[in-house]
Amino acid sequence: MAPVYKLKFFNFMGVAEPIRYLFAYGGISYKNIEIEDADWPDVQKSVPFGKLPVLEVDNKVLCQSVAISRYLGKLVGLLPTDDLEAAELDAIALTVFDYGTKVHEWFHEQNKERKLLLQKELEERWCPRYLGDMEEIVRQKGTYFGGQKISWADLYFVGIMESIEGMWGSKILEKQYPLLHTIYKHVHEIPAIDTYVSNRPHYKY
């Protein structure tokens, strides 16, 4: 019998969106549980390391967006069988996560002076560094992060970039990174993802 999957996150995309993509891609049923602000203090005490997302697989609890996405990526056939190729994609997903963390930190910074500093660092250093190097990797590899074949790392990238562009308020890929933008379009053209995106709740980022 297929396991019962329960995804717990908030009512936005964030680092849960790649997980939702992967469920959609695989046609796998899951319960998408959006935690309300009022319930968060209690939920936080109940989950490992006090962080979301978590994915319950029957009675096991997985945490960490990249670990969950890799697991689902294998389940839905989006992980290469070669271990070295798989590790290269792990590194891409982890780097996408790091980049997202930096944008997230800037977005939620309350101190105005520090927020300006973080924005300057993003503009001048981190956006070009992360996206520039990813663009170059795709240029060398072919169409996707893994070469000619789409992988979970591409879905991970696009899921996180939706959130990053939402916070950043700019279609940065379309403007500056044509190969990454092509991945973005290709992922959204997958029928199952297109259907999911067209029907998902209104998530701002």
Site residues (vs a copy of itself, CB under 8 A): 48-50, 57, 60, 62-64, 66-68, 70-71, 74-75, 83-84, 86-88, 90-91, 94-95, 129-130, 133, 137
DSSP of 82-104: SHHHHHHHHHHHHHHHHHHHHHH
Residue 24 or 93 with smaller CB distance to a copy of itself: 93
CB of 56 to a copy of itself, least distance (A): 11
Return d(Cα 53, Cα 63) in angstroms, integer: 6
Residue 68 or 193 with smaller CB distance to a copy of itself: 68
CB of 204 to a copy of itself, least distance (A): 25
* Among 61, 59, 123, 102, residue whose Cα is nearest residue 51: 61
Residue 2 or 84 with smaller CB distance to a copy of itself: 84
Work out whether strand 54-57 and strand 31-34 pair parallel, antiparallel, or are unpaired: unpaired
CB of 132 to a copy of itself, least distance (A): 9
